[in-house]
Amino acid sequence: MTENQFDEIDVAPAAVDTEADANVVDAAVEPEEDPYADFKKELRRKPGNWYVVHSYAGYEKKVKTNIENRVLAMNMQDDIFEVAVPLEDIVDIKNGQRKLVTRVRVPSYVLVRMNLNEDSWSTVRHTPGVTGFVGNAHNPIPLSHQDAFDMLKTEAPIEGARSAGGLKASGKRDITVTTDFEVGETVGIKEGAFAGLQGTIHDIHLDSGKLSIFINVFGRDTAVEFTFSQVEKQ
């Protein structure tokens, strides 16, 4: 076949399976399933509205217990349904040591789900440790469903959550990682081929639990990754 014959060849387009292609497109654009969908529905189904009350810092759990005991003592179960102190799991990494702790997510605030009336307001407001409702003190505004979700979502039993910093939380939610290492800080290398040298932190990767550190190798700064446990503060 000559070069000119190539120019004369009519290449027919391949057959297109329209239905199959449509299915592929639909699959590609299908939105990711919301892991909080069931929790959001549950929040909307529950009776009453969520209100926020102030408490003394560090006494949120005690105030929760006080409100629950007061509800029982005053027989207010038909109007005050639930008291919550949103918590979150934290992996705190200090000087290479990991520690899993649970802390109050919104300090000084306690959430109460209730029907607001004079008796329920008085029951909550006069609970020891409560310093007042957020907003209008005598006619507080309830949280919207979205605001309630934003404050309570750490309590949701969602699937597929990961561990962080090498530790697993008791629940099924993502774990926040914090560390006292800082970018630009000089640290010492205590393990591996560079043990005994010092370097400067270039980047902190909390999800993987690693530090990118500039080490002087043969007169040049070279970025090397280390785990938190391989370095120490100077």
Q: For the residues 77-95, what does the mean pLDDT come to?
A: 85
Type and span of the H or E element at 62:
helix 60-73
The fold of the 182-233 domain, in CATH, is SH3 type barrels. (2.30.30)
Least confident range of 79-93, 110-124, 149-163, 201-215: 149-163
Q: Which residue has the tokens 């100077």?
A: 234
- CATH 3.30.70.940 occupies which residues in the chain? 37-177
Measure the CA–CA gap between 153 and 35, rounded to whole angstroms: 11
Between 141 and 90, the higher pLDDT residue: 141
- CATH 2.30.30.30 occupies which residues in the chain? 182-233
Q: Give the per-residue pLDDT at 11.
A: 39
Q: Are 155 and 161 in contact (CB under 8 A)?
A: no
3-state SS assignment for residue 151: helix
Structure confidence by residue, pLDDT tens digits, 112-140: 999 999 999 999 999 999 999 998 878 89
Least confident range of 49-53, 118-122, 147-151, 189-193: 189-193
Q: What percent of the chain has pLDDT over 90?
A: 31
Between 167 and 38, the higher pLDDT residue: 38
Q: Give the per-residue pLDDT at 89.
A: 78
pLDDT at 90 over 80: no
Mean pLDDT (the chain) is 78
Measure the CA–CA gap between 60 and 204, rounded to whole angstroms: 33
Measure the CA–CA gap between 50 and 62, rounded to whole angstroms: 19
**φ/ψ of residue 202, rounded to 5:** -95, -35
Least confident range of 136-145, 149-158, 163-172: 163-172
The CATH code that applies to domain 37-177 is: 3.30.70.940
Nearest to 80 by CA among 40, 34, 38, 127: 127
Q: Whole-model pTM? A: 0.59
CB neighbourhood size of 153 (10 A): 18
pLDDT band of 77, cuts 50, 70, 90: very high
